[in-house]
Structure 1
């Protein structure tokens, strides 16, 4: 991919910042698409484009003629989607339709759309659990439709909970922020855990971006790729890991009383893109240390 061009939408976000750095680092021409002119872009050429504006997207694609596209732009908060359901559909679904349709003019372009494991299976139910799930399910339908009807080379990635250094809004970043505030003697409310027994798969953002590169280069047209670390952690374990590296105790409250309750057995998907030769490399412990260091440096 060295010497080729890649358009990265949502380049100002947590994943976008890491993606721009990574793809620039392997010698690609990076076009970093952001919505606002004042968005800071450290790697690549900044391109200002409102992904809700169809004509701007068409003009951007026509001008850049990218070899690859990594579509990260969108909104990803479940609670927020309840408050602004239509906005989530516009942002996650219509921007994808606009982008994919614009790319019909470049049939050789390989495109990777970043989906979500929170989508629902329309073969099982027609009732989504929340508006965000509906938007990501419809986004996947857009990908499948454009592959089927127009033969475009589009793929879908479904990462697990992404963590790592940077301005994330996930649980690990929230814990690190709280921890650093306490270390600086800032009076804060206790960190609220929904449960200590709930399990999640956590994947370092740097491993995820490396997976995106492998999919873009070697993935199969129309294929959906789950990207996971393959290791499930209880939220209680996550909190204890942060507490281990904290310089002072982190105040915490558990929303539910799950003492003595065993967590249900969940099995992380062992497949994790084995057919493409990818596996997660960065252990959770190192991710936590890097996250903490990031927020201590702020």
Structure 2
């Protein structure tokens, strides 16, 4: 039975990842500090679904706690590490940047040091489409430059990519970074647009629509994302002996390191997304049109050809179907 260490295990994506691994025969060590950035009860309910499995062990602490990850790696010798723990949110990074420094940068440093001492077979670390920053050429490809991040959140995530590459190069640690594109679905975060819009619409309150609705996002359904992560576990990057990398591959010429987009490969207008929520709730939204918020970008759109080449898989859930599943979960969870 292989062992996986998942950080951010009680989070939105993390809980789905843990459940998939448990059902696939892994023993899972789930690390999460259950922070109060949003409703702790929701995180606890997610964790309860994992504790029902015999192969799950929950650890409650922060990834940045000195020595914690070193101790976990020494005790558990994980075969696979999936690092999802992070302070999330573009807008909150303007208000509280230190939390991003501590969780995203120091937490990732602690993880890399532990892996250096007790190397796993493969480490997979979450990044973000926000890393592409001011890049206006779309769809985004992993080989595009990503030098001009527009928020401190994005800057910390791009920094973790650079940190991970250096460790992969120096210590021959196989690392895959994945860049997520607007993940949504049941058990989602209350600070995300889908959750906020659904709640407001059902309560007959207006919704804030930024950039006057002129926004595009590559909405990725959570189960599609997690299936892609599971497949990528087996796509272990190997340092190229001659430094030659095939065209279109983001594999480093000097390290067993690769960046992979996980997206639906479809830029959907925010207005269309709102219409899907209206259809699922059976209610019309009152829209409060507002200018763009600081640190945000008008569009994201993934080229996921590399994901398909590595795994044979491409996310495919249509927005209307994924939104309907979220609204169904929301109504049941909150008895609406």
Q: Report the TM-score when normalising by structure 1.
A: 0.88
Q: Is the 8 A contact 2:218 2:300 kept in 1?
A: no
Structure 1 residues 240 and 272, CA gap change in structure 2 (3 angstroms): farther
Cα shift at 1:85: 1.6
Q: Is the 8 A contact 1:107 1:153 kept in 2?
A: no
Equivalent position of 2:141 in the other structure: none
Say if 2:81 is the partner of 1:69. yes
* Distance in structure 1 (CA, Å) of the matches to 2:299 and 2:120: 44
Instruction: Tell which deviates more after alignment, 214-223 or 137-146.
Output: 214-223
Say if 2:170 is the partner of 1:149. yes
Say if 2:192 is the partner of 1:192. no
Cα shift at 1:19: 1.0
Cα shift at 1:226: 0.6
* Distance in structure 2 (CA, Å) of the matches to 1:79 and 1:267: 20
Match of 1:274 among 299, 303, 308: 308
* Distance in structure 2 (CA, Å) of the matches to 1:128 and 1:120: 7
Q: Is the 8 A contact 1:180 1:295 kept in 2?
A: no
* Distance in structure 2 (CA, Å) of the matches to 1:265 and 1:64: 41
Match of 1:129 among 138, 143, 150: 150
Structure 1 residues 240 and 121, CA gap change in structure 2 (3 angstroms): closer
Instruction: Tell which deviates more after alignment, 285-294 or 275-284.
Output: 275-284
* Distance in structure 2 (CA, Å) of the matches to 1:137 and 1:209: 21
* Distance in structure 1 (CA, Å) of the matches to 2:171 and 2:300: 38
Match of 2:106 among 81, 94, 119: 94
Q: Is the 8 A contact 2:78 2:120 kept in 1?
A: no
Computed over aligned residues only, the root mean square deviation of the Cα atoms, in angstroms, reads 2.5
Number of matched pairs: 284
Instruction: Tell which deviates more after alignment, 56-65 or 68-77.
Output: 56-65
Equivalent position of 1:119 in the other structure: 131
Q: Deviations over 1:229-254 (max 9, x none)?
A: 01111011111111122233222222
Structure 1 residues 146 and 179, CA gap change in structure 2 (3 angstroms): same
Q: Report the TM-score when normalising by structure 2.
A: 0.78
